[in-house]
Amino acid sequence: MLVVFNIIRIHNLISNTPTFIERGTVNVEYARALQQALSVNLTQVATIVIVGVGMTLVVATGGIDLSVGAVMAIAGQIAPLIFLGPIADRFGMGVANFLALTVPIAVAAGFGLMNGLMVTKLRFQPIIATLVVFIGGRGIAQVLTNGYLQPFKNPSFQYIALGRPLGIPTQVYIMFAVVLLALFLVRRTAFGRYVLAIGGNERAARLAGVPVGRVKTLVYVISGALAGIAGLIVVAINAASDANLNGMNMELDAIAATAVGGTPLTGGHANIVGTLLGALLIQLVRYSLISIGVPYEFALVVNAFIILLAVYFQRQRAA
């Protein structure tokens, strides 16, 4: 897992902003940096929340989805291929952008379907099934463009990340839309009840006529599609698709947000709002640490510790 490149990149970004520890006093630059960190925080948290919501649904059925990062990379790689390619020339930019926003998500959902079928039909353990896509998926994303970066400038496509209706980034709208939809799904629909029933007692659910296989497959499809959306957002922010970096470590962040948000990893509960708060908390801790001069890398250690605590307390409560 290529954690590191990402971290180094962010590390450089942060060490380029003047550091505070050397000056020893809180000053204007500190305040500016803090503000910057917080805005980075909210935009960064959007993709984690979007993917985390899918993860929460999968975890609620008692599964896990390791493939989200790789699926993000695939989706992110496909979009520029569409609007930079012959489709744009032949059918115009409007059609190309439409396809660039839909096809990658459909492909991502397709990978989710693959995960789901491996779990339900081939009866792989979820961790193994999604590990297959985790390993192979990023390779596929890289192969699509031979591993090369695809830089682009496409304001209408990038609107999904950089647009600011009412001064708020579009991705934040998307994030809240996903959260609300998921809340609706869990609380109001039969599907939501099925998800919780399966995670809570699969045998009982089956005997109550719950279509266990279909529901399980569908949560992986949803998780895949949401990862696809997140992948597009990342690409749009960066104005370039990078199969090596897009979605790197996203599975860790999403699992962390889910666990910290109070969804037990053993299934049966889906705390969507918790996942939102969990992602915010993790990012907040991370950036607070950075802003007081703790090196960014240490955030990983803190992140690990937060998950350990969350899992530990979950077990305590269950006992």
Considering only residues 218 to 247 of the shown chain, the ones binding other proteins according to CB under 8 A are 243
190 binds other proteins (CB under 8 A): yes
Q: Given candidates 31, 39, 125, 165, which one binds other proteins under the rule CB under 8 A?
A: 125
Contact status: 303 vs other proteins (CB under 8 A): yes
Query: Which residue is listed with tokens 């390779």?
Result: 139
* Residue number with CB closer to other proteins (88 or 218): 218
Please give the DSSP secondary-structure letter assigned to residue 150.
E
159 binds other proteins (CB under 8 A): no
Query: Residue 128, interface with other proteins (CB under 8 A)?
Result: yes
Q: Given the structure tokens 């998307």, which residue do they identify? A: 174
Nearer to other proteins, 28 or 122 (CB): 122
Determine if 110 is a binding residue for other proteins (CB under 8 A). no
Q: Please give the helix or strand (H or E) that residue 240 lies within, else none.
A: strand 240-241
* Number of residues counted as binding other proteins (CB under 8 A): 74
Tokens of 53: 């919501």
> CA 55, CA 48: separation in Å to the nearest integer?
10
**DSSP bridge pairs for 241:** 150
Could you give the string, one character per residue 27-66, with x where binding to other proteins holds by CB under 8 A and - elsewhere? Answer: -------------------------------------x--
Interaction between residue 137 and other proteins (CB under 8 A) = yes
Cβ(275)–Cβ(258) under 8 Å? yes
In whole angstroms, how close is the CB of 92 to other proteins at the nearest point? Answer: 32
Report the residue from 16, 166, 167, 319 that binds other proteins according to the rule CB under 8 A. Answer: 319
- Four-CA torsion 163, 277, 110, 150, nearest 10 degrees: 40
| Alpha carbons 41 and 66: distance in angstroms, whole number | 23
DSSP annotation of 165 reads G
Question: Whole-number minimum distance, CB 1 to other proteins, in Å?
Answer: 6
Instruction: Please identify, using beta-carbon distances, which residue of 123 and 153 lies nearer to other proteins.
Output: 123
Cα–Cα distances (Å) from 263 to 50, 216, 255, 307, 310, in that order, read 16, 17, 10, 12, 10
Q: Which is nearer to other proteins, 23 or 164 (CB)?
A: 23
Interaction between residue 268 and other proteins (CB under 8 A): yes
Nearest approach, Cβ of 9 to other proteins (angstroms)?
Answer: 11
Q: Cα–Cα distance between 163 and 145 in angstroms, integer?
A: 27
The yes or no reply on residue 138 touching other proteins (CB under 8 A) is yes
Closer residue to other proteins (CB): 25 or 28? 25
CA 252 to chain centre: 9
Both tokens of 288, joined, read 């607070």
Minimum CB distance to other proteins, residue 188 (Å): 6
- Rounded Cα distance between 181 and 185, Å, is 6
